[in-house]
Structure 1
Amino acid sequence: MFRAVFCTILLTFSVLSLSASEYQLKSPDGKVVVAISVGEQLGYTVAYNNNEVLDFSTIAFEFVEAAPIGKEFTVLDSKQSTVDETWKPVLKRYDEIRNNYNSLVLYTQESRFPKRLVNVEFRAYNDGVAYRVEFPEQFAGRENTMTDELSVFNFADDFTCWSADYKNYVSSQETEFWKKKISDITDKMVTGLPMTIEVADNCYAALTEADLTDYAGMFVKPYSKAGKFALRSDLAPLPGQPKNGNKVVFKFPHFTPWRVLMLGETPGDLVESEIVQNLNDPCEIEDPSWIKPGISAWDHWWSGEVKMEQDVILQYIDLASEMGWDYMLIDWQWYGMYNQPKADITTPAEQLDMPAIFKYAKSKNVKCWLWMYWTDVDRSVFDAACALYHKWGAAGIKIDFMDRSDQKMVNWYHRIVTTAAKHQLMVDFHGAYKPTGWRRTYPNLMTREGVMGNEYNKWSLCMTPEHLCTLPFTRMLAGPMDYTPGGFLNRMPDKFRNGTPANVMGSRANTLAQFVIYDSPYQVACDHPDNYRGQTGVEFLKKVKTVWDDTHVLNGKIGEYITMARRSESDWFIGAMTNSEDRKLEVALDFLSEGEYKMTIYSDTDETPVHGEAVAEIEKVVKKGDVIEIEMVAGGGYAAVLESVQ
């Protein structure tokens, strides 16, 4: 799982001490420059590709029991190092991930009483900057209640950004990422992360967090005290607390999450980045071989309402078997009414014979996942429930409607995932907060929602082509998203209507492309078996993967279009989507290996603007260096599989 190449070596070239309290840290390629100052305040600036990204941005904390931390620091010691290593992810977009950064740790102490110790580590990667604060062991046994973290992000100008307003700290984090100026963000908003920023033509950034452990999830809000275009951290309050109430309760020692500024020359560079995972600890599951990515059939709550009956479940198991998919997801009401005091997640509804269902699934080479409401899980003896699911032969669990990211809920997520891992169960969180890379440490955490996904086609008009082309550059930067693609009742935007069974906005080729573009090692296909059988594009869904050996963003513009290429062993898959404009793109197949490939293409046709399900299936032979033309209608897409014929 892990191979170290070169790590922890004293730097004399990447960290320059300018004075007793000023330091400069550069990325290995020299494009990222962080200037750090420790004295009256603890702060830093960031530049990338000769562009000023952050002006002086400070770090501070406020507590119930003691004076704020944030002023008059003395540096007691410092540690400079570099790390260059590779590791093999279980849930992969690349066969190997390189973790290469230069680090500076500053050991500081307040200059005045109570002279608390505060350590801060900065890391400069080629694809971003991150820092976290450590409150080391001191004042033994004392409990600390943090009311505010003042991590400031003082942007150098009124840059264009894409951000989500969740309206409330208690939410499923499902909404659009709107294009705006930083100055358009108001104190009334609950602005979630990631937030993507266009700094210059050759500089894009995204603000997020990594390794969220025993801490509150972070939002951002304006902070005029630091500058006209400054934002600051805004932590989710503990349950029952007002927004300015208690946020984090801890004892020393304790770490904050990493505050992350992803950086790249193009929007696609942000999509390709693995900085969020790199900032998490290595895998703690000794043998993760039981963790199996794959596609799942899903009973038809989405396309025709729940019918929690034995024959319906078997129907979807049959679909998974026919398609060669690994899984079938048994959704809500399998244990009867949910979110009730007497709800029991170990007792199936009376109309279901659960042992028979799992026996049938096994005979079809399919494994089942089980849905449950989080409050029912919380009331259960969860360890015993997991043991029962493992005995049944369940592959994983989908837990829903948490709708919080406060410290208590963050710790609850961790308890659920680690307990599930003991019983070899994978996990999918819905009604969830954004990922923070913890799937590196516990890769049985396959995916999560926290995204305005396909189900919104059922009751809203929000699933626009623009939204679909924005998600890869915003929400997906944090990690996998259970968007639940695969709706085959395709309607173009001008003909789309809400209803049951649910239509999806966009062309059939657009739907196929989502399986390539949207990251989710556990990919849940949303439609009814009858809507797949005999349809063009089904063969693509039998071949497409959910994890990859290589990933390339070939082109893209936030909210407008994207083309991605993914490799699985020797075969490649291409997916492209466009917004509400017709689009032609040329793509060079420079990423291929030598030799010929049979390319099967699924593309929009002249009929697609009228009939969204119209899709052409074309075969051709291509080789490395060829240039292909991708044509998409408004709201359309393009998908292809390239199979080596060597």
Structure 2
Amino acid sequence: MKQKKPLFLFLTTLVICLNLHAKNYRIESPDGRISLEVNIDQRVSWSVKMDGKQILNSSPIALYLENETLGDNPRLLKSAVKEVNETTQAVVPYKFKNVVDHCNELLLKFKGDYGIRFRAYNNGAAYRIEVGKKDEIIVNDEVCEFNFTNGCSVLFPEEKSFFSGYERLYTDTLLAAIGEKQFCSLPALVSSADGVKIGITETGQSDYPGMFLKGTGKDALKSIFPPVPLKIENLTYKSERVVESAPYIAKTHGTKVLPWRCLMFAREDKQLIENNLPYILTEKNVLEDTSWIKPGKVAWEWWSASNVFGVDFKSGINTETYKYYIDFASEYGLEYIIMDGGWSDRVQLDIPVEGVDIKEIIRYGKEKGVGVIVWMTGMSLDNDMERFLDVYAEWGVAGLKVDFLNRADQLMVRYYEEIAAAAAKRKMLVDFHGAFKPNGLQRKYPNMVNFEGVYGSEMNKVSNKVTPVHNVTIPFTRMLAGPMDYTPGAMRNETTKGFCINWDIPMSQGTRCHQAAMFVVYESPLQMLCDNASLYRQEPEYTHFIAQIPVTWDETVALAGKAKECIAVARKNGDSWYIGGMTNWTAREIEVDLSFIGEGNWEIESVTDRVNADRYPSDHVLKTEKLKNKRLKISMAPGGGYAAILRKLD
């Protein structure tokens, strides 16, 4: 034992010396309730507390380049702390018109031409790695870990492959039950044992792969990234296969800011609905002229298989049917129609199929004040994008629906931005389908008005899993990242027992008012009316009601909500307020305080579940009356909903 004592003393002295070189840096949110601490020792790690309680345990940060690792044995050169407090206006305000960026920021710069920027907000925390190399860099991997406290649960959108349409259901499970071979796309929602909700996403992504998170068998998640494809085999016009991949995840400019790794905190579920961090953190608009960008509602023929009725022409993919949809859109004040899959050759995108006179359809749309958006696959567009878009511009196409993108590697992320820039050059909107979640590019290129990346209404054509439970889960999960093209508005509404899968005549689960509420609850600057124009015309009062709900919002106020159970939200556009409420299969009554609308006399126009909506879900009541007081009771049937418009009378 006497011989081992000098070695023990030496190791003890070494640990003490190493600890003397370790440094801790701490910033707080402006309200002081969230504290972010960075530890610099043999590696860089960060942790977060809320109200003095640990939320995120020490979690490492590193970037593995081809010839060095940024973050291992770091040598700090400089640290700087500052308060950020600025307000700008959103070009396309899908949550708030005024974008308030108020936080405290810590910037750490290290030897080796890199830094890490941390931010503490009142409702979240984030960091990003910033590289300042002169030459091109190859990124082999990035270490982003989230080590949470014990006993967490998670809503986990599990993926089976990096090749995905990102239309996932959310599995509710203990975080420690997620094994190392399981991984998910983003956003994910973690709940601590204390009930704090932690939304995880990324934003400010450009020329860099999307991040996925894998389990660890513990209360932790670790990042994984798709590698750069070296060889891709095209299988059909809409499917492909990566047959060779590089041993790295990105090859990019040496001067590079990586995406923000973003945590969104809420003490109550409903607070997540007002959290705007992914939009706040990302790069601001780069387009000089945005006056032509026009969000709006869309009449959509695909969901009902172009199956209009009560007409004297053969319905289908033809000029007459598209004109019918234009007439419908014009009658109800909808800004656009979409010509979805089938209008053109699947590969030669400038060749319409027989029976479709695209120039006449667009001319007729302009005459009626209705823009035309055209569908294509990303693979076919990539064959000759500049030429196709020039032809579309000459025709007068208003926007693109680009589908079956199905990857999130660096090349695909770059392609999104190329499409957005090329479309903006020709003053066209873009709606991405078969696509990953919003990644911040919707602020940089505000013509990028929508993303799918959600298990939405189109799945009713093939699945019975688009339930009211799912519908009141996604506002607290998928919608954290930004707008989602769920495509609401089903007119055939059913109970679980009555629902059946029908490709040509689809239906939804839950009540009609459940669908109506989605037009307020779901953020979507390009919002579909998904169902058959003939069905909408049969119920003009209801259709006028949903058609007048805006798609952009000056303010958002979360009234009530809990993931998987219910939601109630109020949104303001101009001088009017709009309210949407949705419940799962449990009937419920929610009383909300409307004092935020201000003084004066108000009129309320509402659509509510009728008394028998639990048995006949399409049953509803439309009424207009004077608002009696600022305590509003929202009653909803099982699978039900509520929608209302409040207009000031004086």
In 2, distance between residues paired with 1:241 and 1:311?
Answer: 44
State the match for 1:76 in structure 2: 77
> Over residues 45-88 of structure 1, what are the superposed CA-to-partner deviations in whole Å (9 max), with x where a residue is unaligned?
1011233111110012334x324444211111112211111011
Secondary structure of 1:608's counterpart equals coil
In 2, distance between residues paired with 1:308 and 1:416?
Answer: 26
Q: Counterparts of 1:546-557 in structure 2 under 5 Å?
A: 546-557=551-562
8 Å contact from structure 2 (residues 59, 146) kept in 1: yes
Secondary structure of 1:153's counterpart equals strand
2:91 counterpart of 1:95: no
Secondary structure of 1:575's counterpart equals strand
State the match for 2:326 in structure 1: 317
2:606 counterpart of 1:610: no
8 Å contact from structure 2 (residues 561, 567) kept in 1: yes
From 338, 350, 362, give the equivalent of 1:329.
338
In 1, distance between residues paired with 2:543 and 2:44?
Answer: 56
For residue 222 of structure 2, what is the amino acid of its counterpart? Answer: R
2:232 counterpart of 1:234: no
CA shift, 1:128, in A, is: 0.8
CA shift, 1:303, in A, is: 4.7
For residue 491 of structure 2, what is the amino acid of its counterpart? Answer: F
Q: Counterparts of 1:242-253 in structure 2 under 5 Å?
A: 245-253=247-255
Moved more, 454-463 or 197-206: 197-206
Moved more, 246-255 or 292-301: 246-255
In 2, distance between residues paired with 1:438 and 1:35?
Answer: 29
CA shift, 1:117, in A, is: 3.2
Q: Counterparts of 1:329-478 in structure 2 under 5 Å?
A: 329-336=338-345, 338=346, 343-380=347-384, 382-478=385-481
8 Å contact from structure 2 (residues 491, 618) kept in 1: yes
State the match for 2:6 in structure 1: none
Secondary structure of 2:206's counterpart equals coil
State the match for 1:196 in structure 2: 189
In 2, distance between residues paired with 1:642 and 1:243?
Answer: 55
In 1, distance between residues paired with 2:542 and 2:21?
Answer: 63
CA shift, 1:618, in A, is: 2.3
8 Å contact from structure 1 (residues 302, 455) kept in 2: no
In 1, distance between residues paired with 2:521 and 2:259?
Answer: 28
Secondary structure of 1:494's counterpart equals coil
User: Structure 1 vs Structure 2: percent identity of aligned residues?
Assistant: 34
State the match for 2:517 in structure 1: 513
For residue 446 of structure 1, what is the amino acid of its counterpart? Answer: V
> Over residues 395-417 of structure 1, what are the superposed CA-to-partner deviations in whole Å (9 max), with x where a residue is unaligned?
11000001000000000000010
Secondary structure of 1:377's counterpart equals helix
2:67 counterpart of 1:66: yes
For residue 526 of structure 1, what is the amino acid of its counterpart? Answer: C
> Over residues 89-112 of structure 1, what are the superposed CA-to-partner deviations in whole Å (9 max), with x where a residue is unaligned?
011122211011111111113xxx
In 1, distance between residues paired with 2:256 and 2:517?
Answer: 43
In 2, distance between residues paired with 1:243 and 1:68?
Answer: 22
For residue 254 of structure 2, what is the amino acid of its counterpart? Answer: F
CA shift, 1:243, in A, is: 8.9
In 2, distance between residues paired with 1:367 and 1:272?
Answer: 31
Does the C-alpha gap of structure 1 residues 241 and 69 become closer, same or farther in structure 2, counting only changes over 3 Å? farther
In 2, distance between residues paired with 1:122 and 1:59?
Answer: 12
State the match for 2:170 in structure 1: 177
From 140, 144, 149, give the equivalent of 2:137.
144
> Over residues 326-366 of structure 1, what are the superposed CA-to-partner deviations in whole Å (9 max), with x where a residue is unaligned?
00001112222x1xxxx212222232222211111111111
Secondary structure of 2:597's counterpart equals coil
2:557 counterpart of 1:561: no
8 Å contact from structure 2 (residues 326, 368) kept in 1: yes
CA shift, 1:533, in A, is: 1.5
Secondary structure of 2:228's counterpart equals coil
State the match for 2:13 in structure 1: none
8 Å contact from structure 2 (residues 151, 193) kept in 1: no
From 114, 124, 133, give the equivalent of 2:129.
133
Secondary structure of 1:215's counterpart equals coil
Does the C-alpha gap of structure 1 residues 243 and 555 become closer, same or farther in structure 2, counting only changes over 3 Å? farther
State the match for 1:222 in structure 2: 215
State the match for 1:50 in structure 2: 52
For residue 89 of structure 1, what is the amino acid of its counterpart? Answer: A
For residue 630 of structure 2, what is the amino acid of its counterpart? Answer: D
For residue 518 of structure 1, what is the amino acid of its counterpart? Answer: Y
The count of corresponding residues between Structure 1 and Structure 2 is 609
CA shift, 1:518, in A, is: 0.4
For residue 474 of structure 1, what is the amino acid of its counterpart? Answer: T
8 Å contact from structure 2 (residues 303, 531) kept in 1: no
Secondary structure of 2:595's counterpart equals coil
For residue 80 of structure 1, what is the amino acid of its counterpart? Answer: V
> Over residues 261-302 of structure 1, what are the superposed CA-to-partner deviations in whole Å (9 max), with x where a residue is unaligned?
111222222221111111112211112110011100011444
Moved more, 625-634 or 518-527: 625-634
Secondary structure of 2:473's counterpart equals helix
8 Å contact from structure 2 (residues 555, 571) kept in 1: yes
Does the C-alpha gap of structure 1 residues 543 and 232 become closer, same or farther in structure 2, counting only changes over 3 Å? same
Does the C-alpha gap of structure 1 residues 463 and 310 become closer, same or farther in structure 2, counting only changes over 3 Å? same
For residue 331 of structure 2, what is the amino acid of its counterpart? Answer: E
CA shift, 1:242, in A, is: 7.8
CA shift, 1:617, in A, is: 1.4
Alpha-carbon RMSD across the aligned residues, in angstroms, is: 1.8
State the match for 2:583 in structure 1: 578
In 1, distance between residues paired with 2:183 and 2:496?
Answer: 29
For residue 285 of structure 1, what is the amino acid of its counterpart? Answer: L
In 2, distance between residues paired with 1:242 and 1:274?
Answer: 38
In 1, distance between residues paired with 2:615 and 2:374?
Answer: 39
For residue 76 of structure 1, what is the amino acid of its counterpart? Answer: L
8 Å contact from structure 2 (residues 306, 321) kept in 1: no
For residue 216 of structure 1, what is the amino acid of its counterpart? Answer: P
In 2, distance between residues paired with 1:454 and 1:51?
Answer: 40
8 Å contact from structure 1 (residues 561, 578) kept in 2: yes
8 Å contact from structure 2 (residues 335, 370) kept in 1: yes
8 Å contact from structure 1 (residues 51, 200) kept in 2: no
Moved more, 297-306 or 121-130: 297-306
2:538 counterpart of 1:545: no
State the match for 2:119 in structure 1: 123
CA shift, 1:542, in A, is: 2.5
CA shift, 1:223, in A, is: 4.0
Does the C-alpha gap of structure 1 residues 417 and 244 become closer, same or farther in structure 2, counting only changes over 3 Å? closer
8 Å contact from structure 1 (residues 48, 203) kept in 2: no
State the match for 1:8 in structure 2: none
For residue 73 of structure 1, what is the amino acid of its counterpart? Answer: P
8 Å contact from structure 2 (residues 25, 37) kept in 1: yes
For residue 215 of structure 1, what is the amino acid of its counterpart? Answer: Y
8 Å contact from structure 1 (residues 304, 501) kept in 2: no
In 2, distance between residues paired with 1:88 and 1:19?
Answer: 44
Secondary structure of 2:627's counterpart equals strand
- Unmatched runs of 5 consecutive residues or more in structure 1: 1-17, 110-115
State the match for 1:588 in structure 2: 593
Does the C-alpha gap of structure 1 residues 73 and 567 become closer, same or farther in structure 2, counting only changes over 3 Å? same
From 167, 170, 176, give the equivalent of 2:160.
167
Does the C-alpha gap of structure 1 residues 244 and 388 become closer, same or farther in structure 2, counting only changes over 3 Å? closer
From 252, 255, 258, give the equivalent of 1:256.
258
